[in-house]
Amino acid sequence: MALNPSLSPTPPMGFNTWNRFAGSINQDLIEETMSAMIEEGLARLGYVYLNIDDGWMAPERNPQGELVPDPERFPGGIARLAERAHAAGLKLGIYSCCGTKTCMGLPASYGHESQDAKTFASWGIDYLKQDWCSVPYEDFPGKSHREVAQELYGRISQGIAATNHPMVLSMCNWGDGESWQWARGIAHLWRTTSDIADVFCGETPQGAWDVVRIFEKNSQLDEYAGPGGWNDPDMLEVGNGGMSEVEYRSHFTLWCMMAAPLLIGTDLRRLDLSTRSILTNADLIAVNQDALGVQAPVVRQTDGVYTLKKPLAGGDWALAVFNASETDKTVEIDWTTLVQPGNHHIKDLWSGKNEVVQGKTCVDIPSHATQVWKRYS
């Protein structure tokens, strides 16, 4: 039994609690975020998954062996939140882990895979992020990390399929065992890197990666992404305060070009203007959600400047030029070789400016900035 790939024809979009709130989550936060997703117009733009990450469960399973929500922080239970989300036109996501404990040390799914899938289905859960902490490798003597991951993600995937309840499965083993090579069919998206830090380029908390490092890794894996299954370079940090506006725009643009899941990770109850304008860029969201589902390959890389080209349904394309270097650059763009000869009607997806280009043009791209255009035929 395989997962239903029609649940993720384009990369999932929504919100997840972890990047901003870590383990400090409760029912009020989820309900307030739910309202904000509607009131801020985010749901209308496609951000429909409201995903609860680690920290929702009680420290012990119930006598039937089932996971239960922490009674103090989620007194109304999860099923009620799912009902409310559905009534508002949203979907509810939840978190568990393949190991014996979650990364926060709470009960996880090892040995309970089909039971947990059933519990989540009975609550009306639409999306499960399955993590990779406390994995008992000693129970699989002679097996490689890849084989153990295939076995354990296979179990939860089968468990979900057996419920017949539509549920997106997000695999979160940080790319261990080159998961992109075998995850399609088991999961709808799979992490390709370590956790993201709210840092564009530079020192990060231990174990976390900055945006540039994540981009450099994930951008090489374009051949594995496509309708039904997506590379996941981790959730968005846009709005969390560790980067400049230019850097957050680059982060968002690159994730859109790489057909990455767009999971907002900031406090939606207090959105500032700049954060809102980035997350609600409808032209870029359309590039991310394009039906062809191509992850833009890097078509040119020189001197710390990356050019990505994303073919779009209907024969158009988006082109992004990212200056990852520490100096401002003037970049020559040869439209004839990068795309095709002729006049191109293009729109700058940040300024909104339309222009016609042909042959070669030069653009100034400040350090850490990304310029992105879409061709309209």
Q: Which residues bind ligand GLA (CB under 6 A)?
A: 18, 53-54, 102-104, 131, 172, 195
Cβ-closest position to ligand GLA = 103
Active site residue 131: yes
Q: Tell me the closest approach of the beta carbon of residue 24 to ligand GLA, in angstroms.
A: 12
Q: Tell me the closest approach of the beta carbon of residue 18 to ligand GLA, in angstroms.
A: 5
- 3 state SS of 111: coil
Of the two residues 195 and 316, which places its CB atom closer to ligand GLA in the complex?
A: 195
Report the C-alpha dihedral over residues 135, 139, 144, 150, rounded to 10 degrees: -70
In 10 A of CB 370, how many CB atoms? 25
* In the block, residue with structure tokens 């993720």: 8
Q: Tell me the closest approach of the beta carbon of residue 106 to ligand GLA, in angstroms.
A: 9
Distance in angstroms (rounded) separating the CA atoms of residues 187 and 292 = 19
Of the two residues 20 and 329, which places its CB atom closer to ligand GLA in the complex?
A: 20
Active site residue: 53, 126, 131, 234, which one?
Answer: 131
- Sign, Cα dihedral of 157, 163, 164, 166: negative
Residue 154 CB-density burial (10 A; 0-12 exposed, 13-18 middle, 19+ buried): middle
- 3 state SS of 118: helix
Give yes or no for a contact between 235 and 51, defined as CB atoms under 8 angstroms apart.
no
Distance in angstroms (rounded) separating the CA atoms of residues 119 and 145 = 28
10: Cβ–Cβ under 8 A, 6 or more apart, which residues?
Answer: 227, 259, 288, 289, 290, 291, 293
- Of 16, 13, 11, 12, the residue nearest 267 (C-alpha): 16
Of the two residues 78 and 372, which places its CB atom closer to ligand GLA in the complex?
A: 78
Of the two residues 128 and 268, which places its CB atom closer to ligand GLA in the complex?
A: 128
- 3 state SS of 303: coil
Distance in angstroms (rounded) separating the CA atoms of residues 190 and 231 = 5
Of the two residues 50 and 346, which places its CB atom closer to ligand GLA in the complex?
A: 50
Active site residue 364: no
Angle between helices 245-257 and 211-218 (to 10 degrees): 20
Of the two residues 3 and 128, which places its CB atom closer to ligand GLA in the complex?
A: 128
Of the two residues 116 and 131, which places its CB atom closer to ligand GLA in the complex?
A: 131
- 3 state SS of 260: coil
Which of the residues are catalytic?
A: 131, 195
